[in-house]
Amino acid sequence: MAKKSRKWLWILLTLLAVLLAYAILGKNKGWIGKTHRHKVATDIVTKGKIVETVSGTGKIYPKTELKLTPDVSGEVIDLLVEEGDTVKKGQLLARIKPETYESFMARAEAAVNAAKSGESSTQAQLSQLQTQSEKLKRDLDRARQLYGDGVLSQADLDNAETAYKSALDNMKGINKTIEGAQYNTASAQANLKEARENLRKTNLYAPMSGIVSLLHIKKGERVVGTTQFQGTEIMRIATFDEMEAQIEISETDVLKVSVDDSASVELDAFLDRSFKGMVTRISSSAKSQNLISNDQTANFTVYIKLLPSSYADLLQMNGVFPFKPGMSASADIYTNTVDNILLVPIQAVTTREDSTIQNKKERLSKELVFLYKEGRVYSQEVKTGLQDDTHIEVSKGLSEGQELVSTPYRLISKTLKDSLEVEKVKREDLFEIVK
């Protein structure tokens, strides 16, 4: 019985020792006797400059690039350039097999000759009828005189008049025939002109000086002309004196962009480098819209001219133009700049519903920051304006020099409330705590 009592005594002593150790440790660590306080980092409201930007992605292309498609169909029997070649305006680039079009022209020439021959023959008939009608007119005049003298009978006079009228009617018919023959000749000549033009178009010439930026076909392939169909694109010729980035901007941002806005363009092919640009044009209609899914956001194309001064060193380096059409690009367009305004970190501003309104449906959202004063935080409603990647303008509700909570955002957005006690720490220490 004494042994059991000593055993329970040792158990109680051990438990007391453990509880005492835990109490001492909790006291030292702040687990006991202290209220838990959220750790925050703060920033000071300062004045500065905001450069508002709109960003997007796209590709770069020569500002002037022409797609060459043939006007006639057939087999390409000569291809006189290769991709990357420099060409001059009027230079022969390719030839389409001409035999078919030569045959068309020969038939058209024959048709013109036949039409002209028919017209000439009819003209000869008209000339004969004119001579004949003139003779019949003289005969009629003599018959009338003889009839007046009582020498010629009424029947003979009627016959002379009928013969003359018949000649006149025949002349009218021949004139109509000549008019039709002239139409036939004009039509045949038009067909001949078209046949000659089609034969000429079997030779494809450069419409401007530039570089063959893309070649779609090879010698021996067949191409379709644009006479009745959408023709086969044979090649593209571009001038690389001016390059532009075609950037897709969402409908929510495109209204902020204006012509002549400056921009910074980055290309995936040139790491750690940006090129200066300027907005030259903004599309007036959306390029694409996803009507199938619920996402119906439309994008607009913004054209940004790359300033040659920003890549002049690349030209001097090796003498070869550094860009290729279709390279991927991203751009920051600087749409507005305002100086000497109150700035706070973006993450310091949160939006919450106005809890003072009982009807939840009528509650309006308001923008808040949390000011830090002597270990406690206090909400302050603000009105914001422009923003960049890191800061946002506060146009109402704050003054320069005030201290506010800037991180962590999860506390700012949901947890912090008026008079809540917090612990201010350095930003780097806060990140260590979060880790």
Q: Are strands 328-345 and 298-306 parallel, antiparallel or unpaired?
A: unpaired
Contact 292, 269 (CB under 8 A): no
Contact 342, 43 (CB under 8 A): no
Tokens of 81: 């350039």
Backbone angles phi, psi at 39, to 5 degrees: -95, 130
What is the pTM assigned to this prediction? 0.61
Q: CATH fold of 70-97+202-233, please?
A: OB fold (Dihydrolipoamide Acetyltransferase, E2P) (2.40.50)
Tokens of 245: 């980035």
Quote the pLDDT of residue 434. 46
* DSSP codes joined into one string, 15-67: HHHHHHHHHHHHHHHTSSSS---EEEEEEE-EEEEEEEEEEEEEEEEEEEEEE
* DSSP codes joined into one string, 288-339: EE--SSS---EEEEEEEEEPGGGSHHHHHHHSS----TT-EEEEEEEEEEEE
The predicted-structure confidence for 325-382, as pLDDT tens digits, reads as follows 889 999 999 998 889 999 999 999 998 876 655 556 555 688 999 999 999 999 999 9
In the chain, which segments carry CATH 2.40.50.100?
Answer: 70-97+202-233
- Higher model confidence: residue 220 or residue 151? 220
In the chain, which segments carry CATH 2.40.30.170?
Answer: 242-338
The predicted-structure confidence for 74-127, as pLDDT tens digits, reads as follows 999 999 999 888 899 999 999 999 998 888 888 888 888 887 777 777 777 777
Please enumerate in sequence order all residues whose Cβ is within 8 A of that of 46, keeping only pairs 6 or more positions apart, or say none.
342, 343, 400
In the chain, which segments carry CATH 1.10.287.1700?
Answer: 100-197
90: left (phi over 0), alpha (psi -120 to 50) or beta: left
393: left (phi over 0), alpha (psi -120 to 50) or beta: beta
> Coil, strand, or helix at residue 244?
strand
Please enumerate in sequence order all residues whose Cβ is within 8 A of that of 243, keeping only pairs 6 or more positions apart, or say none.
60, 61, 62, 63, 305, 306, 323
Quote the pLDDT of residue 363. 55
Say which residue the tokens 């004009």 belong to: 186
Domain 38-50+342-434 grouped into CATH 2.170.16.10: no
**Alpha carbon distance 214, 223 (integer Å):** 16
Contact 306, 277 (CB under 8 A): yes
Of the options 3.40.190.10, 1.10.357.10, 1.10.287.1700, 3.30.470.10, the CATH number for the domain spanning 100-197: 1.10.287.1700
pLDDT interval class at 293 (50, 70, 90): very low
Q: CATH fold of 242-338, please?
A: Elongation Factor Tu (Ef-tu); domain 3 (2.40.30)
